[in-house]
């Protein structure tokens, strides 16, 4: 397809656990979903690998049951780790390499339709920690994308809802929604996707977008609902035939696909039928919505507990929340909507596509950033850019930031920047050396809420070396933590007496360095990704 005109070169990507979506901005600054090469608005986040060929998307999902040992699914759940949860075709892959294949396929599809991509904003769950965020950014670089920013998924969704509300009121298409009389609007975003769950509360005014509180679970999503059905189906089959279809990779892949089918069917009707095949044997039986709800009640309860906690952490009551926005494919499930109605006393807003809204918000966020940068050469109207230049977006950190300090009971997490602190943020605190004549101080930087350091995630460390000789025990050392609006973290240690300074922009343990990133980008560039 020949490239089309009026492309800003900017895309927003919702890199999802089960599906991904990409959007662009029109000249008027209106977000639009970009179809993939098959003409579909979302692309399955599934990869089938064979030698130097990676099949991504619909064909990969169709092949999952035929080639399960060659298939990677739910890669996002392993982001930040050193390896994907299992080998693919006998090889070990890092999650960011697999994610880069998905992103490369998305980039290729966009460029075939519109021409070169100049900038990309990629979304992540609000509850992603620093390591997972950096791995996502690395995946973009490996795919050949210039990553303008990483934005939280609930923030992106709320931005898209605010924009669309104003557009439907026939106000300027580039502006953002407030209440009917111009007062700020407070919205709760409930985002339950295929593999992750987030809740955020945001406050929106005409020129300001502020996240008040956020929480979530990076290992809770539709895949867990599917797994409950998979186990139920397998146990029914085992009860009749004595064998367990979960023991065979191909049968297990079929079970997961059948679970997805049943889950979707039960969102529209009260009963449906499941079909399980294994070892040339077949079992068909009825599944009711009531049974599905019973099997997954504890999963739903976990999201309810988190949602209530976020409202409390924001210092609000449900009466002070104007809108409840539903995001993510799992919010189509009736049990979710019923729980939200009961909890909030409000009718949830499902007016935008749960599959596309996050990508739309990412594109809008990119437009705002380009407006601040001057956006020379961009195909966005001056009127839209003019409205965005002064727009302020304030997010919060989803995990507390601290350092490990020695106590009589062991190492504890001394929190400097608590979770839900508006970003950017900077905090300092004075600590003390633990022994006489201590010549260096090792600083371990942590993310997490636990008191014990070992229960938190260590995201980096550095050493303040070369301290003067013969310092007494409990010599003061000042530690300064900085948490940027873009999620980047830097920490420095300083000896107030000498001015000796050590600082670091944290590099997560096990993260690829620049040379390794360039090499992986070269490899991806030579792969055939279809």
HEC secondary structure over 297-316: HHHHHHHHHHHHHHHHHCCC
Q: φ, ψ for residue 232 (rounded to 5)?
A: -65, -45
Q: Is 153 a catalytic residue?
A: yes
Asked whether the beta carbons of 162 and 176 are under 8 A apart, the reply is yes
CB burial class (10 A; 0-12, 13-18, 19+) of residue 144? middle
Q: φ, ψ for residue 65 (rounded to 5)?
A: -75, -20
Whole-number average pLDDT of the chain? 91
Among 64-68, 199-203, 216-220, 493-497, the range scoring the smallest mean pLDDT is 493-497
Asked whether the beta carbons of 461 and 443 are under 8 A apart, the reply is yes
Please give the tally of structural domains in the chain. 3
Do residues 171 and 256 both lie within one domain? Answer: no
Residue in 272, 228, 274, 276 with CA at minimum distance from that of residue 251? 276
Tens digits of per-residue pLDDT, 393-442? Answer: 899 999 999 999 999 999 999 999 999 999 999 999 999 998 999 998 99
Residue in 48, 42, 49, 54 with CA at minimum distance from that of residue 15? 42
Q: Does the pLDDT of residue 389 top 80, yes or no?
A: no
Do residues 334 and 433 both lie within one domain? Answer: no
Do residues 193 and 250 both lie within one domain? Answer: no
| Domain presence at residue 171 | yes
Q: Is 76 a catalytic residue?
A: yes
What is the distance in angstroms between the CA of the first residue and the CA of the last residue of the chain?
Answer: 16
Length of the chain: 530
Confidence of residue 509 (pLDDT cuts 50, 70, 90): low
Domain residues for the domain of 280 are 222-295
* 111 vs 4: which has the higher pLDDT: 111
- What would the two tokens of residue 518 be? 């360039």
Residue where one domain finishes, among candidates 263, 295, 327: 295
Other Cβ atoms within 10 Å of 378 Cβ, number: 20
Among 29-38, 87-96, 352-361, 382-391, the range scoring the smallest mean pLDDT is 382-391
Asked whether the beta carbons of 15 and 42 are under 8 A apart, the reply is no
> What is the pLDDT, as a whole number, of residue 4?
53
Residue in 460, 459, 425, 443 with CA at minimum distance from that of residue 495? 443
User: What average pLDDT score do residues 335-342 get?
Assistant: 98
What CA–CA distance (Å, rounded) separates 118 from 109? 14
| Domain presence at residue 306 | no
> What is the pLDDT, as a whole number, of residue 183?
79
Q: Is 78 a catalytic residue?
A: no
Q: What is the CATH number for 270?
A: 3.90.640.10
Query: What are the beta bridge partners of residue 349?
Result: 325
| Domain presence at residue 519 | no
Catalytic member of 78, 96, 191, 356: 191
> What is the pLDDT, as a whole number, of residue 11?
98
> What is the pLDDT, as a whole number, of residue 513?
85
Do residues 37 and 169 both lie within one domain? Answer: yes
Give the global pTM.
0.91
| Domain presence at residue 300 | no
Do residues 208 and 232 both lie within one domain? Answer: no
| Domain presence at residue 371 | yes
Asked whether the beta carbons of 12 and 364 are under 8 A apart, the reply is yes
Do residues 360 and 414 both lie within one domain? Answer: no
What CA–CA distance (Å, rounded) separates 225 from 237? 19
Measured CA to CA in angstroms, residue 233 lies from 62, 227, 239, 266, 314 at distances of 21, 10, 10, 15, 41
> What is the pLDDT, as a whole number, of residue 507?
56
Tens digits of per-residue pLDDT, 126-168? Answer: 999 888 999 999 999 999 999 999 999 999 999 999 888 777 7
Q: Does the pLDDT of residue 489 top 60, yes or no?
A: yes
Q: Is 191 a catalytic residue?
A: yes
Do residues 240 and 188 both lie within one domain? Answer: no
Residue where one domain finishes, among candidates 262, 295, 328: 295
Do residues 330 and 277 both lie within one domain? Answer: no
Catalytic member of 153, 224, 226, 355: 153
| Domain presence at residue 406 | yes
Tens digits of per-residue pLDDT, 342-358? Answer: 999 999 999 999 999 99
Do residues 214 and 246 both lie within one domain? Answer: no
Strand order in the sheet with 410-417: 410-417, 401-407, 440-447, 457-465
Do residues 14 and 91 both lie within one domain? Answer: yes
Among 51-60, 352-361, 364-373, the range scoring the smallest mean pLDDT is 364-373
| Domain presence at residue 448 | yes
Residue where one domain finishes, among candidates 394, 429, 448: 394
| Domain presence at residue 186 | yes
Query: What are the beta bridge partners of residue 288?
Result: 271
Asked whether the beta carbons of 298 and 334 are under 8 A apart, the reply is no
Do residues 228 and 214 both lie within one domain? Answer: no
Catalytic member of 61, 76, 107, 263: 76
- What would the two tokens of residue 195 be? 């593999």
Do residues 155 and 58 both lie within one domain? Answer: yes
């Amino acid at each position: 397809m020949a490239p089309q005109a009026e492309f800003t070169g900017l895309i927003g990507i919702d890199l999802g656990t089960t599906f991904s979506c990409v959007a662009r901005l029109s000249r008027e600054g209106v977000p639009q979903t970009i179809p993939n090469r098959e003409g579909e608005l979302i692309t399955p986040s599934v990869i089938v690998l064979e030698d130097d060929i990676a099949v991504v998307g619909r064909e990969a999902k169709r092949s999952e049951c035929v080639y399960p040992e060659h298939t990677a699914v739910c890669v996002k759940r392993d982001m930040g780790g050193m390896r994907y949860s299992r080998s693919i075709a006998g090889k070990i892959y890092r999650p960011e390499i697999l994610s880069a294949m998905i992103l490369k396929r998305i980039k290729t599809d966009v460029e075939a339709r519109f021409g070169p991509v100049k900038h990309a904003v990629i979304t992540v769950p609000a509850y992603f920690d620093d390591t997972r965020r950096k791995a996502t950014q690395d995946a973009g670089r490996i795919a050949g994308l210039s990553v303008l920013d990483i934005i939280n998924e609930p923030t992106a969704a709320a931005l898209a809802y605010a924009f669309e509300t104003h557009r439907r009121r026939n106000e300027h298409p580039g502006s953002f929604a407030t209440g009917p009389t111009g007062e700020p609007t407070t919205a709760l975003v409930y985002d339950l996707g295929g593999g992750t769950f987030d809740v955020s509360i945001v406050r929106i005014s005409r020129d300001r977008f502020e996240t008040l509180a956020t929480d979530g679970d990076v290992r809770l999503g539709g895949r867990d609902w599917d797994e409950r059905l998979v186990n139920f189906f397998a146990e029914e089959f085992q009860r009749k035939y004595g064998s367990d279809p979960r023991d065979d990779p191909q049968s297990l892949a079929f079970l997961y696909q059948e679970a997805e089918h049943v889950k979707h069917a039960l969102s529209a009707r009260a009963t449906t039928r499941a079909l399980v095949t294994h070892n040339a044997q077949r079992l068909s039986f009825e599944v009711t919505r009531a049974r599905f709800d019973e099997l997954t009640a504890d999963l739903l309860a976990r999201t309810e507990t988190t949602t209530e906690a976020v409202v409390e952490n924001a210092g609000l009551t449900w009466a002070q929340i104007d809108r409840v926005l539903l995001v993510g494919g799992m919010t189509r499930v009736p049990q979710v909507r019923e729980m939200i109605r009961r909890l909030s006393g409000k009718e949830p807003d499902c007016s935008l596509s749960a599959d596309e809204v996050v990508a739309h918000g990412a594109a809008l966020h990119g437009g705002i950033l380009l407006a601040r940068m001057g956006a020379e050469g961009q195909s966005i109207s001056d009127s839209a850019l003019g409205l965005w230049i002064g727009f302020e977006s304030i997010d919060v950190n989803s995990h507390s930031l601290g350092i490990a300090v020695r106590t009589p009971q062991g190492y504890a997490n001394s929190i400097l920047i608590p979770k839900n602190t508006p970003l950017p943020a900077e905090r300092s605190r004075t600590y003390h050396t633990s022994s006489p004549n201590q010549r260096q101080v090792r600083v371990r930087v942590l993310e997490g809420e636990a008191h014990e350091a070992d229960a938190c995630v260590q995201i980096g460390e550095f050493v303040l070396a070369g301290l003067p000789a013969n310092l007494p025990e409990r010599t003061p050392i000042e530690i300064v933590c900085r948490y940027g609006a873009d999620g980047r973290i830097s920490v420095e240690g300083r000896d107030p007496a000498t001015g000796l300074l050590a600082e670091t922009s944290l590099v997560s343990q096990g993260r690829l360095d620049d040379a390794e990133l360039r090499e992986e980008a070269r490899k991806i560039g030579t792969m055939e990704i279809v």
